[in-house]
Amino acid sequence: MARYAIGVDFGTASGRAILVDVADGRQLATAVSEYSHGVIDDVLPLDDRRIVLPPDWALQDPEDYIRVFRETVPAVLRESGVDPTDVIGLGLDFTACTMLPTKADGTPLATLPQFRANPHAWVKLWKHHAAQPDADRINAVAEATGQPWLDRYGGRISSEWFFSKALQILDEAPEIYAAADRLIEGGDWVVWRLTGVETRNACVAGYKALWSKRDGFPDANYFAALDPRLGTIVDDKMSREIALAGERAGGLSAEAADWTGLPIETAVAIANVDAHVAVPAATVVEPGRMVMIMGTSTCHMVLSVDERSVPGMCGHVQDGIIPGYVGYEAGQSCVGDHFSWFVENAVPEPYQQAARARGLDIHTLLEEKAARLRPGESGLLALDWWNGNRSVLVDAALGGLLVGATLATTPEEIYRALIEATAYGTRVIIETFETHGVPIREIVACGGLAEKSPLTLQIYADVTGRPFKLAASDQASALGSAMFGAVAAGAGAGGHATIEDASAAMARLKDRVYEPIAANREVYDVLYREYLRLHDYFGRGGNDVMKTLRALRAGARAAEFGAAESGSGATASSSTDAAAPIEA
C-alpha cells in the first residue's frame, strides 16, 4: 500500500510544498504560496503609519508562513488525489538564521498592536544585515575572552546569525527584548504552530546559535560580558533541549489539521535548515561529496567523520546535517542575486528587445552569448562580493569589484565574468576545506540556478577542476523535508528508519555530468591566481577601500535622512547612527 510524505520548504520569497511517494521519492504534486509581504526592506507594511527601514534591513511577516500551510498542503492533496490518511509524515525546512520574538504561547510580537510599529518586533530574515556592529562586538569579546567555540565557526561570527540579531534587538529596542518571552528560529516556530510543542532543532542551533552537542551554548559569563542583560538569554528566551533531524517533533494539532486537511496527529519532523535538508535529497549521506544549493545565494555542505577546524567557514556541527557525521557549511552570499542585479541594472535595451523578439528569458540570451566566449576572452575579472563575503573572509562590509574593462567590453563579457567570479569563490571554499582535512572529490548541485544554467555548471567544473553532478529533483529541499517527514513517521508506519534509508530509496541524480575541460582549466588556473591575489589584497586588510566606501555611503545616506550633521564630512557617522529606523 502506497504511503506518502509532504515536505514544505520555506524560502526567501515563498513557501512550497511537495507530496512524494516514500517508496521511490516520486513527486506527485507541488504548490507554491508567495509571501504576501515578501521581503520587507523598505517600509513596514502598516496601514496607518509609515516606518522607513534603514539600509541593510530585511524583515518578514510571520503570518505569511502560516498561510503557506493553509494554501499549499490542501493544494498538493487536491492535485495528487492522495487520500490524506495515506500521508504518514510532514517535514519542513526554513531559511536560517531567520528569527522572531514571541510571547510564551508563541504569539509573535509583530502581531500585537502595541509592538507592530516597531521593526524589531518583526521576523528578522536571514539576509537582514543591519546587525554588523553587534556581530563585531560578539567577535571582539569572544576573541578577547578566548571562547573555545570560536574555532568551530572559522574564527568569525556572521551578522546574519542568531545572537547578532538578538543583540541588535537588545541594543536598539530593549522594550522588545524585554517583552519577548521567546526568541526563536522561524522553522522551530512553524513546527510549534503545527504541533503545539516548542522544539529547537540541532541544525540551526549548531550552525547559527553557537550550540554544540558536546559543550552546549556559550556560558552565561560570556553573554553577560556582551551585555549584563544578555547573561541569561538561553534560559530566559531559548531552550537547552535540542532535537536532531529526523526526530518526531509531535503530531499535528487540531488547528493545524484544519489548516492542512491532514489527519490530527500526523507525524511532524523537527525543523531543518533549507540548505542542509537538501543534502540527502542530493544522494549525499557520506564524506567527500559536496552539495551546493545554488540560488540567490549558494550554500555548500560537506560531511566528515572527524571534527576539523576550517577557518572562515559558516560552521561545523556534529550531527548537524546527517546524524553520525560532522556537517560543515560554507556560503556565498551573492550568486543568483548577482545575476539578477546585473539584469535589472546593467543590461541594455537592445538585449532585452532581442530576447523578447526570440521569446527568450534575458538570462537565457545572455548565457547563449556568454557561452560563445572562451575562458579569458572577456579580459575581465570580478570579485563576487556585491553582497559581502560569507565564507573564508566572513565580512559583510566587503563590496564588489570588476577589473579589466575596456571600451570594447560587452554585457555578455561582464555577465560571464560575474559567473566566473562566483566559481572562483567556490574554489576558494573547496581549497580551504581540503587544506584543513576535509576532502572534496565531486560536487552535487541543486537549486534553481543549477537547474537553469548549464554554462554556470561547466564554468564551475572548469574552475574547480571537479565534476559537477545535478540532483534529479528540482525541489531538493522540499524533497529532503519530505524524506525527514518519512523518517519522523518511522519504518513501522511505512516510512523509513533512517535518513540513509530514505536517501537510498527516494533520492536520485540526473544523468548529465559536467566534467572539467583541460584547456579551460589551464586558463582558469591563471585567472584564479589573479582572483586570489585581489581577494587577499582587498579582503585581508591590504586595502580597506571597500570599507571606506561603505562608511562614506552610510554617512551620505545619514545626512540625507537628516539624522546627523556628519554626512558631508570625511568621517562617516557610525553604522549604528545611520541605521535607526525613522518614521517619515
Tell me if 359 contacts a second copy by CB under 8 A.
no
User: Nearest distance from residue 11's CB to a second copy, in Å?
Assistant: 17
The dihedral through the CA atoms of 137, 143, 144, 147 has a sign that is positive
338-357 residues near a second copy, rule: CB under 8 A:
338, 341, 344-349, 352-353
Cell of 348: 541594455
Ranges of beta strands (E only) in 254-332 are 267-269, 272-273, 288-294, 298-304, 315-318, 326-332
Cβ closest to a second copy, residue 217 vs residue 531: 531
Tell me if 107 contacts a second copy by CB under 8 A.
no
For the chain, what is the largest distance between any 2 Cα atoms, rounded to a whole number of angstroms? 73
User: Nearest distance from residue 363's CB to a second copy, in Å?
Assistant: 14
User: Nearest distance from residue 289's CB to a second copy, in Å?
Assistant: 29
User: Nearest distance from residue 405's CB to a second copy, in Å?
Assistant: 4
Tell me if 37 contacts a second copy by CB under 8 A.
no
Tell me if 428 contacts a second copy by CB under 8 A.
no
Residue 14 burial (10 A CB sphere; 0-12, 13-18, 19+):
middle
User: Nearest distance from residue 374's CB to a second copy, in Å?
Assistant: 4
162-201 residues near a second copy, rule: CB under 8 A:
none
Which residues lie closer than 8 Å to 320 by C-beta, 6 or more apart?
Answer: 202, 203, 206, 207, 276, 326, 327, 329
Cell of 135: 556581530
Region binding a second copy by CB under 8 A among candidate stretches 244-252, 368-376, 472-480, 504-512: 368-376
User: Nearest distance from residue 355's CB to a second copy, in Å?
Assistant: 10
Tell me if 140 contacts a second copy by CB under 8 A.
no
Tell me how many degrees the CA angle 24-29-35 measures, rounded to the nearest 5.
125
Amino acid letter, 57: W
- For residue 101, give the nearest of 175, 152, 32 by alpha carbon: 175
Q: Omega into 334 within 30° of 0, i.e. cis?
A: no
Distance CA 228, CA 222 (A): 10
User: Nearest distance from residue 558's CB to a second copy, in Å?
Assistant: 10
Please state whether beta strands 27-34 and 14-21 pair in parallel, antiparallel, or not at all (unpaired).
antiparallel
- For residue 68, give the nearest of 446, 481, 472 by alpha carbon: 481
User: Nearest distance from residue 424's CB to a second copy, in Å?
Assistant: 13
Count of residues in the chain: 584
Distance CA 221, CA 215 (A): 15
User: Nearest distance from residue 401's CB to a second copy, in Å?
Assistant: 5
Distance CA 525, CA 536 (A): 17
Tell me if 42 contacts a second copy by CB under 8 A.
no
User: Nearest distance from residue 61's CB to a second copy, in Å?
Assistant: 22
* Number of alpha carbons in the 13 Å side-chain half-sphere of residue 102: 22
519-538 residues near a second copy, rule: CB under 8 A:
519-520, 522-523, 525-527, 530, 533-534, 537-538
Cβ closest to a second copy, residue 148 vs residue 404: 404
Distance CA 572, CA 82 (A): 60
Cβ closest to a second copy, residue 275 vs residue 578: 578
One residue of 108, 218, 323, 411 binding a second copy per CB under 8 A:
411
Size of the site for a second copy (CB under 8 A): 68
Tell me if 378 contacts a second copy by CB under 8 A.
yes
User: Nearest distance from residue 263's CB to a second copy, in Å?
Assistant: 44
Tell me if 427 contacts a second copy by CB under 8 A.
no
Tell me if 509 contacts a second copy by CB under 8 A.
no
Cβ closest to a second copy, residue 108 vs residue 567: 567
Tell me if 491 contacts a second copy by CB under 8 A.
no
Cβ closest to a second copy, residue 181 vs residue 525: 525
- For residue 338, give the nearest of 415, 393, 452 by alpha carbon: 415
Cell of 185: 528560529
Please state whether beta strands 298-304 and 326-332 pair in parallel, antiparallel, or not at all (unpaired).
antiparallel
Cell of 239: 531552550
Alpha-carbon dihedral angle through residues 513, 517, 522, 525, given to the nearest 10 degrees: -10
Cβ closest to a second copy, residue 289 vs residue 550: 550
- For residue 210, give the nearest of 245, 238, 247, 171 by alpha carbon: 238
Q: Is 319 left (phi over 0), alpha (psi -120 to 50) or beta?
A: left
288-347 residues near a second copy, rule: CB under 8 A:
334, 337-338, 341, 344-347
One residue of 220, 401, 493, 564 binding a second copy per CB under 8 A:
401
535-574 residues near a second copy, rule: CB under 8 A:
537-538, 543, 545-546, 548-550, 552-553, 555-557, 559-560, 567-570, 572
User: Nearest distance from residue 162's CB to a second copy, in Å?
Assistant: 23
The dihedral through the CA atoms of 381, 384, 389, 390 has a sign that is negative
Enumerate binding residues for a second copy (CB under 8 A): 55, 334, 337-338, 341, 344-349, 352-353, 373-381, 386-387, 399-411, 414, 519-520, 522-523, 525-527, 530, 533-534, 537-538, 543, 545-546, 548-550, 552-553, 555-557, 559-560, 567-570, 572
